[in-house]
Amino acid sequence: NDFIQDKEAVAEKAKLAQTQSQLFKKQQLDDDDEAEQPVPDVMTLARHFEDAGVGVGQEETFRISLALRQLAEAKPLKSVRFWGKLFGLRKNYIVAEAEYREGEEPQPEDEEEPAPSETPEQTEEESDDPTANVPKSQYKPLPPLPVEEYGSGVNKKVYFVCHEPGEEWVGLPNAKPAAIVVARQIKKFLTGDLSAPVVSFPPFPGNEADYVRAQIARITATTTISPAGLYTFDEEDDEEEERDTFIEDEEYEGKSKAELLDPSLAGWAHHSSYILPQGRCKWLNPAPPKEDEDEDDEDDEDEDEEEEVEPETGPPLLSPLQNDEPVDNQPAWSARLTSETSPNYAAVVVSSNLWPGAHAIALQEGKQFANIYIGWGHKAQAQPYSPPLPPAPQQEFPNSEEITEAADPTREEEIAYEEAMKEAEEDAEQEEEDDDDDDDE
């Protein structure tokens, strides 16, 4: 029977135990109790989430908390938190969100490398296949929008994933605008393999690592929230448009549970920047005016698409939740207490109805809060998904009279034309006759 396969399962279990046992090492108590810890008190937060019916179990959470510490020790990270868990078909992802210590950020070059599959068309063009000699398309796609660098926009933080706590953490690539744009149009199950291709229409630019990263970016942007007023913008930084950092407001006085529970959700604010339709947080003109070319030509050619592009805008960072769009006629967020029998010791939990599985809790009058996502990585939708239709064929030439083929005349037009011609002929004959007459006269 399946004795050998059973043995394999047991061996796998033992191997995982071996791997995980490295997590359980003693730590020295910091001399200074107040010392900033890179990893928050995951267990305490998880207990409050558990009170809200949210979590992955105390034992797994404990292992995750140790794995986060391991990550913080292995890389030059300033802070690491448990972002959440994404279910996959064959493996699941544990996701950690981290920030590098100042001055120890990875070089941008390093980040660009792991995405060689971004433009698969190019490799095809250079290959030796027999179609290589067919006439090549003159179509030049717009250059992809530049990826926001680590530290700003959708890549303000960096994300690491592993399948089981104790296994190696794998850094995800930076989120790419094109990937986010396509991710919004597709709905795919994750497989659990970061290098798996994402087969979809429209074609997804990248593999599962990019898709995971894009979904994390979308979920983070929409569902990361904090009690309103806890953070504020640095007064010295007065560029209103592009503020994507904030500081703790020292004057925050705490919010009562009633305020945090208010169904208007005015007690909570968005903690992450909104992602624009173009897939970036900071808007960038996809085709900046090229000043060295002839302006008239351009006016003609780019009229429909790029001329005088209206910058995309979205709600600013720290906007209150009450402006969020309803989801299918239901509020975007639901707020509750974690206990109805002991409300005075309960935490406030706020759950996203747009991304089911995303939750936030607030403790200690909102001075402590946390966000988590546990789910399949899919947005809620009341209507069945239907893939987008292929775009309309591109116009090859601008529509102008000189190159427009004339419509074939209809029978009526022909008759009218023939009649008109006949009449004209008759008129000419008549005139001739008249001329003759004149001559006669």
By CB under 8 A, the residues from 351 to 380 that bind another protein are 353, 356-357, 374-376, 378, 380
Angle at 21 between CA 15 and CA 27, to 5 degrees: 160
45-74 residues in contact with a copy of itself (CB under 8 A) are 47, 65-66, 69
Determine the Cα–Cα distance for residues 220 and 158; give it in Å rounded to an integer: 12
330-349 residues in contact with another protein (CB under 8 A) are 330-331, 334, 336, 338-342
Task: Locate the DSSP E strands across 286-386.
Answer: 333-337, 348-352, 358-363, 368-375
Is residue 87 at the binding interface for another protein, with CB under 8 A as the rule? yes
48-67 residues in contact with another protein (CB under 8 A) are 50-63
- Contact pick of 382, 389, 392, 407 for another protein (by CB under 8 A): 382
Q: What is the distance between the terminal CA atoms of the chain, rounded to a whole angstrom?
A: 123
Determine the Cα–Cα distance for residues 348 and 345; give it in Å rounded to an integer: 10
Query: Least distance (Å) from another protein to the CB of residue 22?
Result: 10
Pick what 384 binds: another protein, a copy of itself, none; C-beta below 5 to 8 Å, kind-dependent: another protein
Q: How crowded is residue 111: how many other Cβ atoms within 10 Å of its Cβ? A: 18
**For a copy of itself, the closer CB: 344 or 404:** 344
How many secondary structure helices (H) and strands (E) does the chain include? 10, 12
Pick what 417 binds: a copy of itself, another protein, none; C-beta below 5 to 8 Å, kind-dependent: none
Q: Which residues pair with 170 in a beta bridge?
A: 161
Pair 159, 68: CB distance under 8 Å: no
Pick what 17 binds: a copy of itself, another protein, none; C-beta below 5 to 8 Å, kind-dependent: another protein
Query: Least distance (Å) from another protein to the CB of residue 142?
Result: 27
**For another protein, the closer CB: 189 or 417:** 189
Angle at 121 between CA 306 and CA 377, to 5 degrees: 80
Is residue 37 at the binding interface for a copy of itself, with CB under 8 A as the rule? yes
Biggest distance spanned by C-alpha atoms of the chain: 131
Using CB under 8 A, list all residues that contact a copy of itself: 24-31, 33, 35, 37, 41, 43-44, 47, 65-66, 69, 256-258, 337, 340-345, 365
